[in-house]
Structure formats: structure tokens, C-alpha cells
Amino acid sequence: MLEGGALDPRDVARVRDVTAQQWRTANTRSPHHADAYWAGAGDADGASVARRRSEWLAALPAFAGAGSAIELGCNVGRNLWVLQQRFPAMALCGVDIDAEALAQARARVRAEFVLGDLYDLEATLGERSADIVFTMGTLIHLHPDTLPPLLAALVRRARRAVVLVEQVNADNAVVKGPASWHPERRVTGDYIQWSPDLPGMLTRLGVPHSVSDVPPDLQSNGARHLLVVPVAREGA
């Protein structure tokens, strides 16, 4: 048992509230938060790890020939910006909970941007779908108990593939959290980050998928594994 008043990782509703508030205000609380995402993004040689990771993502076979893509948790839009450089005709959509992050993304990327909470994906996305639906270091911030229906919704909305660049663990391990939990990486306060069992969830949903490692030199906290779910849609 945790001490009275302390956040219990099994309390899905409170975990949701804490995490949503963390990311809803990230760029307002930390005006330089976006700098890490855009650092070196415009380098002609793509020298920064962040830029090279986005370039690696855009070069994945799933994106070749795709006419549209939706990124969930797009933050300030670096991945979408790189996709736009590589595929100028691709219709892009970015979703994020942080209004300030989306304002920065709109200043750089020609795309539709949607402000919304991934815990309420259906209301956030409405009728939107795309050839590719993807994430990078996003699902690690959602409570694992809420992920199976979200994964099923992503598969329904993708016409060609779901691409997940995340960090996985068969035990749904907490990798960031209050020091009292003794997670791998401790934080101040109640913020939580998981390493969810996405492969196990997809298997239990009956969804074929592949799992591989992100290239070691491009890995970051939250972006260590690549999961690709091929989707066959009539006319896609």
C-alpha cells in the first residue's frame, strides 16, 4: 500500500488526470521545452539525433506511397515537418493535448492540427482516418489499462499501417514515477511514464504485427522499439 494521499499506479482515473495535466501545460510551464524537439531540425546534414530519428521514421517502408498520415502526440511537429520535406504531397494531421505545442507546429508545418486528449480518442479524431497512423514516445504516457481499446481504434482508422515507435515491456513496467515507487528513472511529484506491453496487447486483440528495435544510435527514453501493424483495406 502507498502512503495516504499518494498516487496509486492502479488508480487509472487519477493517473490519467496527472498525466494529462503534465502534457497539457508542458510548453507553457517550460518555454524552452520545444527546443529539444527542434534542436538541429533544420541542419542540412541532419546531424542531431532527434532529426535523424525523424528521418529514419519517414524512411520506413510503411510511409512509401502513402497519401496521408496522422500522428498522435505530435508535440511541436518535428516528425510531421520531416515527413513534409520527404513527401510534399502527403496530407498530414497532428494531434496533441498541448495548445501551445500545436501553435508552434502550425508555424512550421502545413497540416491539420487537432487539440484533444488521447484518452478520449473517438471524440478527438471524429471521423478522421489516414493511410498511416503513428506515434513516437506517446503511448508510454497513457495508463496501460486504457491502451487495448485505443490500439483497436488506431487499427480501424488506418488504411495501410499503424506505426508505433515506443518503449515496451511485458510487465507494463513503470520507468518514470515518484521516487517512492523506485522506478527506473525517478521524477519529482506524481508524473508517470510506463513501458507498456504493446506486443501482448496487439496479440490479444488478434492483430498481426512486427516488433524490432529502433537503431541503437537513434534510441531515446520512450522510443526504443518499433511496432508495425499492416492493415489491408479495400481500395487502399
Task: Give 3-state DSSP helix, strand, coil % of the chain, rounded to 5.
Answer: 40, 25, 40
What is the spatial order of strands in the sheet that 185-187 belongs to?
185-187, 173-178, 193-195
pLDDT of residue 234: 52
* Contact between residue 164 and residue 135 where contact means Cβ atoms under 8 Å apart: yes
CB 195 within 8 A of CB 140: yes
Asked if residue 124 lies in contact with residue 118, where contact means CB atoms within 8 angstroms, the answer is yes
Q: Cell triple for residue 185?
A: 528513472
Residue with cell 516488433: 211
CA separation for the pair 98, 26 (Å, rounded): 7
Q: What is the spatial distance between Cα 140 and Cα 227, in angstroms, rounded to a whole number?
A: 13
Residue 1 confidence (pLDDT): 33
- Show me where the domains of the chain are located: 24-230
Query: DSSP label at 220?
Result: B
| pLDDT for the residue numbered 43 | 56
pLDDT of residue 188: 79
Domain 24-230 sits in CATH at 3.40.50.150
**pLDDT one digit per residue (tens) for the chain, 236 residues:** 344 457 788 899 998 998 888 888 887 777 776 666 666 555 555 568 888 999 999 999 999 999 999 999 999 999 999 999 999 999 999 999 999 999 989 999 999 999 999 999 999 999 999 999 999 999 999 999 999 999 999 999 999 999 999 999 999 999 988 887 888 888 877 888 999 999 999 999 999 999 999 999 999 888 999 999 999 765 54
- pLDDT, position 5: 55
Predicted local distance difference test score (pLDDT) of residue 233: 61
The string of pLDDT tens digits covering residues 119-165 is: 999 999 999 999 999 999 999 999 999 999 999 999 999 999 999 99
